[in-house]
Amino acid sequence: MSPIKKPKLAVWKFASCDGCQLSLLDCEDELLAIADAVHIANFPEASRAVAKGPYDISLVEGSITTPHDAERIHKIRRSSKFLITIGACATSGGIQALRNFKDVNDFISIVYANPEYIETLNKSTPIADHVFVDFELRGCPINKYQLVEVLNAYLNGRKPNIPQYSVCVECKRKGNVCVMVATGAPCLGPVTQAGCGAICPTYQRGCFGCFGPKETPNTSSLADWYKNLKLSEDDIMRYFRSFNAFAEPFRKESEAHE
């Protein structure tokens, strides 16, 4: 097959830690096969070669936090057949969305001596708040095998097989003893989407919600259970307010405990 006919893949970065796009380079066993199947047309973290759009698949990492980025995402949408967001920043605003609960000007003056050099928006928002997104892949960071599955699905014109049930289901499958029941460790597993393989409970700690809310999460019931574990209102607020703080169900629950 000539390289011209391969589908074109682009990787874009907004406000983020680079970890989710690193997941693509972390596919040590699959990377060369992926590079065989697609034309990596724009991936600055890995290559200085840049091919012009349009692109068949755009992977977008990071959240929108600056006026310039709010414009840039529209250009990327226009040049992409499928736009897939990867990771908690792109799907819910990420850890930097903690600013959304405070006055960002206070934040700027805490970190920078000359705030006038800094251009930023009041809120860190997910990509879907700005443009139509074809698929959202969750996780902080994403699971690389789920990434390969999503790429495979879009390249072959099928729906990605990414479950939306909770981390609890993964724990049951692995035969983990429930950390919340057995040790009293607060766990977000019941309201968090699966995908990580329930690693925290496997390592004897409570889930802290990297993959964001599952479908129909009952966060208030879980918060009541936390109260039974003698967690303070502040503790409960912080539990729901971390890497997916601005995802609607987690945002509302954290605000109920402020």
Partner 1 sequence: MNNRVIKVDYLARVEGEGQLLVKIKNDAVTDVKFSIIEPPRFFEAFLRGRHFTEAPDITARICGICPVAYQMSSCHAMESICGVKVDGALRELRRLLYCGEWIESHALHVFMLHAPDFLGYEDSIQMAKDHPDLVKNALKLKKIGNEIMILLGGREIHPINPKVGGFYKVPTKKQLQGLVEPLKWALDFAIESVKIMAGLEFPELERDYEFVSLRHPDEYPLCEGDIVSNKGIDIELSKFFDYFEEQHVPHSTSLHAVVKDRDDYLTGPMARYANNYDKLTPKAKKAAEDAGLPKVVLNPFKSIIVRAVEMVFACEEALRVVDEYKMPDKAYVEVKSKAGVGFGCSEAPRGICFHRYEIDDGGIIKDARILAPTSQNQKAIEKDLRQFVENHLDLSHEKMTWQCEQAIRNYDPCISCSCHFLNLQIERE
Binding site residues, partner 1, CB under 8 A: 13-23, 25-26, 28-29, 31-32, 35, 40, 43-50, 65-66, 69, 94-96, 98-99, 102, 104, 106-108, 110-114, 117-118, 120, 124, 140-141, 196, 199-200, 202-205, 208, 210, 235, 238, 242-243
CB of 216 to partner 1, least distance (A): 25
CB of 158 to partner 1, least distance (A): 26
What amino acid occupies position 159? K
Q: Which is nearer to partner 1, 83 or 207 (by Cβ)? A: 207
Angle at 190 between CA 215 and CA 226, to 5 degrees: 130
Q: Which is nearer to partner 1, 105 or 218 (by Cβ)? A: 105
Would you state the structure tokens that stand for residue 83, as one six-digit string?
Answer: 């736009």
Q: Which is nearer to partner 1, 21 or 85 (by Cβ)? A: 21
What amino acid occupies position 142? I
**Structural contact between residues 61 and 84, judged by C-beta atoms closer than 8 angstroms:** no
Q: Which is nearer to partner 1, 69 or 170 (by Cβ)? A: 69
CA 154, chain centre distance (Å): 19
* Separation of alpha carbons 232 and 257, rounded Å: 9
Q: Which is nearer to partner 1, 51 or 181 (by Cβ)? A: 51
**Structural contact between residues 65 and 124, judged by C-beta atoms closer than 8 angstroms:** yes
Place of tokens 């390289």: 3
Would you state the structure tokens that stand for residue 2, as one six-digit string?
Answer: 């000539």
- The backbone torsions φ and ψ at residue 8, rounded to the nearest 5 degrees and listed phi first, read -95, 130
CB of 211 to partner 1, least distance (A): 12
Q: Is the dihedral of CA 93, 94, 100, 101 positive or negative?
A: positive
Q: Which is nearer to partner 1, 30 or 134 (by Cβ)? A: 30
CB of 146 to partner 1, least distance (A): 13
CB of 107 to partner 1, least distance (A): 4
Would you state the structure tokens that stand for residue 169, as one six-digit string?
Answer: 């289901």
Could you report how far apart the first and last alpha carbons of the chain are, in Å?
Answer: 58
* Separation of alpha carbons 253 and 87, rounded Å: 21
Would you state the structure tokens that stand for residue 197, as one six-digit string?
Answer: 């393989």
Q: Which is nearer to partner 1, 66 or 152 (by Cβ)? A: 66
CB of 168 to partner 1, least distance (A): 17
CB of 178 to partner 1, least distance (A): 15
Strands (E), 110-222: 135-137
What amino acid occupies position 149? E
